[in-house]
């Protein structure tokens, strides 16, 4: 490793204990020059973060800081920002960038790697094992290609807030420790229209037990580097799937690799069902953006469904093909798993069991989706095809008129179940609160909605849940508060003017997304009309 004794290492934050297993277990790039190039026979390259002129901490997750073992006084120390923008290192930090490849929009892209992410090291935590600290936007690496490796404030705010919002929604995700300004400006062409402009630079510190992606295994497989492929798979199993290794008597063989692939498939399926539950669209489900441990990773042009539309994508790059739209995410998850299966095939040499797991993914997804929908509607149990038809018919109706997904399901818990025939006045207030233009609610649509609510009421009366239990289940499944794009954009615009209060307020609100929080009702409203087509509020580009 090329760091010398003169490197700027400080001795503060001694509450953190580093145990860098990734770099100990896997081969490093022998070339230590930090310039764009192809890296072979290595899982990572040594690299130093780029120094910045004026680091400033503007947001921190107290929850993540507590997990890592920070003392409260350390979070307010001026050198915290120096460390978490990359200006200074703590004793035990050994910065590096990971090497991986991937399919982007369905096409093999070859080597990609951490182009603007630099891993600082793994912290040994008291209750959460090893946690990797990773800076996003800390400068160029050998994988930056023609880019600068930096990030801007707007995308960094979105990543910081959404990482933590997803966690509190109960969805597997990388975490975010801190958000810092760099004191520098970064040139970005936000709309890809040939008019770049200077924006405020920022760095987010991301945290996870693993940043390995599907593409981490695809690249050595594509290069027929089976030695590195096996080392990576064995490492992933040993560190994040150790239970499987114990069950296999500590033997690394085809049987173990199949069990591992099956669990990766299960975690991926479960993750995507969670996304659909809350109306989240990842936006860039390339294989290099798929976490091997089933976490939401790489918050680029993501988005939250306002009006229910299975074809909606938050990514302007995907506007025509809609490959990664809301309703396609489960299918893309399976496609990505197919690419991972191709990558690990040389370790198994038998396609049949891999295909079996891939086929089971579809069955598992259908089962999990139905169970999830049953909870959204407050059912104690899923009762089969009749329930599934009720779910499908509901989504058709939600799509037939602009209906806010988050508001609708939250309002649905207020629908009073009674044995008397359902009347329009029983359900219309529920729907009106969620639709964007009640004037287009035709007589035909009203009749269709009335029929659906009648069937729903009858189904609820068959259930063993009490009214209180039903409402509790629904309100614990259907969030009241999500990080709508327009809310994030308002926080961004204020922060660009030096006002970070909206970031802090959103942090607080999104820590309790299922609670009523009466003081914050304005943050649980439908998207305002002014945000319908405003930049940052509807769709976003892949530009940082």
Residues 6+ apart with CB under 8 A from 105: 286, 317, 318, 321, 323
pLDDT of amino acid 540: 82
Residue 422 within a domain = yes
Across 196-208, average pLDDT: 96
Same domain for 55 and 123? yes
pLDDT confidence band for 3 (50 / 70 / 90): very low
What is the Cα 269 distance to its own chain's centre?
14
pLDDT of amino acid 294: 98
State yes or no: pLDDT of 61 exceeds 60. yes
State pLDDT tens for residues 282-313.
999 999 999 999 999 999 999 999 999 999 99
Single residue among 402, 435, 462 that ends a domain in this structure: 462
Same domain for 206 and 240? no
Same domain for 275 and 253? yes
pLDDT of amino acid 465: 86
Please give the DSSP secondary-structure letter assigned to residue 417: P
pLDDT confidence band for 5 (50 / 70 / 90): very low
pLDDT of amino acid 11: 59
Same domain for 48 and 121? yes
State yes or no: pLDDT of 98 exceeds 90. yes
pLDDT of amino acid 1: 52
pLDDT confidence band for 10 (50 / 70 / 90): low
What is the Cα 241 distance to its own chain's centre?
20
Same domain for 132 and 26? yes
What's the rounded Cα separation, in Å, for the pair 433 and 404?
9
Q: Looking at the annotation, which residues are catalytic? A: 288
DSSP conformation letters of 439-478:
GG--HHHHHHHHHHHHHHHHHHHTS---HHHHHHHHHHHS
What's the rounded Cα separation, in Å, for the pair 152 and 204?
10
Average pLDDT value over all residues in the chain: 95
Same domain for 192 and 288? no
* End-to-end Cα spacing for the chain: 30
Same domain for 257 and 335? yes
Structure tokens at 10: 């400080």
Residue 450: how many other CB atoms lie within 10 Å: 17
Residue 97 within a domain = yes
Residue 246 within a domain = yes
Structure tokens at 497: 């003017």
pLDDT of amino acid 190: 76
pLDDT of amino acid 314: 94
Residue 156 within a domain = yes
Tell me the Cα Rg of the chain.
Answer: 24
State pLDDT tens for residues 432-479.
999 999 889 999 999 999 999 999 999 999 998 899 999 999 999 999
Single residue among 427, 445, 462 that ends a domain in this structure: 462
Same domain for 270 and 339? yes
Check residues 527 and 419 and name the one with the higher pLDDT.
527
pLDDT of amino acid 2: 45
State pLDDT tens for residues 471-520.
999 999 999 999 999 999 999 999 999 999 999 999 999 999 999 999 99
What's the rounded Cα separation, in Å, for the pair 4 and 298?
32
Tell me the sheet residues that pair with 179.
59, 204
Strands in 61-211 per DSSP E: 89-90, 96-98, 101-104, 107-111, 117-124, 130-136, 175-188, 197-208
Residue 108 within a domain = yes
Same domain for 147 and 236? no
Among candidates 130, 20, 14, 150, which has minimal Cα distance to 79? 14
Residue 126 within a domain = yes
**Cβ pair 375, 473 in contact under 8 A:** yes
Same domain for 82 and 144? yes
% of the chain with per-residue pLDDT over 70: 97
Residue 499 within a domain = no
State pLDDT tens for residues 351-378.
999 999 999 999 999 999 999 999 999 9
pLDDT of amino acid 4: 41
Same domain for 162 and 295? no
Residue 513 within a domain = no
State yes or no: pLDDT of 383 exceeds 90. yes
State pLDDT tens for residues 259-272.
999 999 999 999 99
Residue 324 φ/ψ, nearest 5 degrees: -110, 30
Q: HSE on the CB side for 403, CA within 13 Å?
A: 23
Q: How many domains does the structure of the chain reveal?
A: 3
Same domain for 334 and 392? no
pLDDT of amino acid 439: 87
Residues 6+ apart with CB under 8 A from 331: none
Burial class, 85, CB count within 10 angstroms (exposed 0-12 / middle 13-18 / buried 19+):
buried
Q: Which domain holds residue 280?
A: 228-374
State pLDDT tens for residues 132-155.
999 999 999 999 999 999 999 999
Across 43-61, average pLDDT: 97
Question: Greatest CA separation found in the chain?
Answer: 80
Single residue among 345, 374, 403 that ends a domain in this structure: 374
Output the pTM of the full model: 0.96
Residues 6+ apart with CB under 8 A from 431: 403, 408, 411, 441, 449
């Amino acid at each position: 490793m090329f760091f010398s004794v003169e490197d700027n290492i400080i001795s503060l934050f001694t509450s953190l204990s580093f145990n860098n297993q990734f770099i100990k277990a896997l081969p490093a790039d022998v070339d230590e020059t930090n310039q764009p190039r192809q890296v072979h026979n290595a899982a990572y390259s040594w690299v130093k973060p780029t120094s910045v002129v004026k680091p400033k901490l503007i947001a921190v997750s107290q929850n993540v800081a507590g997990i890592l073992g920070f003392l409260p006084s350390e979070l307010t120390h001026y050198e915290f920002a120096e460390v978490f923008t990359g200006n200074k290192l703590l004793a035990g930090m050994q910065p590096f960038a990971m090497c991986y490849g991937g399919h982007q929009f369905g096409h093999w892209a070859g080597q990609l790697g951490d182009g603007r992410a630099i891993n600082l090291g793994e912290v040994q935590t008291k209750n959460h094992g090893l946690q990797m600290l990773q800076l996003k936007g800390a400068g160029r690496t050998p994988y930056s290609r023609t880019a600068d490796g930096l990030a801007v404030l707007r995308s960094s705010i979105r990543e910081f807030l959404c990482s933590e919002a997803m966690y509190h929604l109960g969805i597997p995700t990388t975490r975010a420790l801190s958000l810092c300004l760099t004191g520098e400006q970064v040139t970005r062409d936000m709309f890809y229209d040939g008019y770049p402009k200077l924006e405020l630079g920022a760095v987010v510190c991301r945290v996870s037990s693993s940043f390995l992606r599907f593409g981490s295994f695809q690249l050595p497989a594509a290069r027929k580097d089976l030695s590195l492929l096996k080392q990576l798979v064995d490492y992933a199993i040993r560190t994040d799937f150790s239970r499987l290794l114990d069950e296999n008597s500590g033997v690394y063989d085809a049987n173990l690799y199949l069990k591992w692939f099956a669990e990766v498939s299960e975690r991926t399926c479960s993750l995507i069902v969670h996304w659909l539950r809350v109306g989240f669209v990842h936006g860039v489900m390339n294989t290099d953006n798929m976490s091997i441990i089933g976490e939401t990773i790489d918050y680029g042009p993501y988005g939250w469904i306002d009006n229910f539309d299975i074809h909606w994508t938050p990514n302007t790059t995907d506007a025509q093909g809609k490959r990664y739209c809301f309703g396609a995410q489960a299918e893309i998850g399976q496609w990505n798993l197919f690419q991972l299966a191709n990558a690990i095939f040389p370790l198994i040499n038998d396609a049949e069991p891999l295909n079996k797991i891939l086929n089971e993914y579809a069955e598992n997804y259908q089962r999990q989706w139905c169970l999830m929908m049953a909870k959204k509607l407050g059912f104690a149990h899923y009762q089969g095809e009749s329930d599934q038809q009720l779910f499908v018919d509901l989504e058709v109706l939600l799509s037939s008129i602009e209906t806010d997904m988050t508001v609708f399901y939250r309002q649905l818990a207020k629908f009073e179940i009674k044995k008397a025939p359902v009347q329009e006045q029983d359900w219309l207030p529920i729907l009106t609160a969620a639709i964007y233009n009640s004037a287009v609610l035709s007589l035909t649509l009203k009749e269709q909605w009335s029929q659906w609510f009648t069937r729903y009421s009858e189904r609820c009366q068959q259930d063993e849940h009490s009214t209180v239990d039903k409402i509790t289940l629904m309100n614990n499944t259907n969030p009241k508060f999500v990080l709508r794009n327009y809310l994030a954009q308002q926080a961004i615009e204020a922060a660009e003017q030096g006002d970070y209060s909206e970031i802090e307020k959103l942090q607080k609100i999104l820590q309790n997304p299922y609670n009523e929080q009466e003081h914050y009702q304005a943050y649980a409203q439908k998207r305002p009309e002014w945000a319908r087509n405003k930049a940052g509020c509807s769709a976003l580009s892949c530009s940082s």
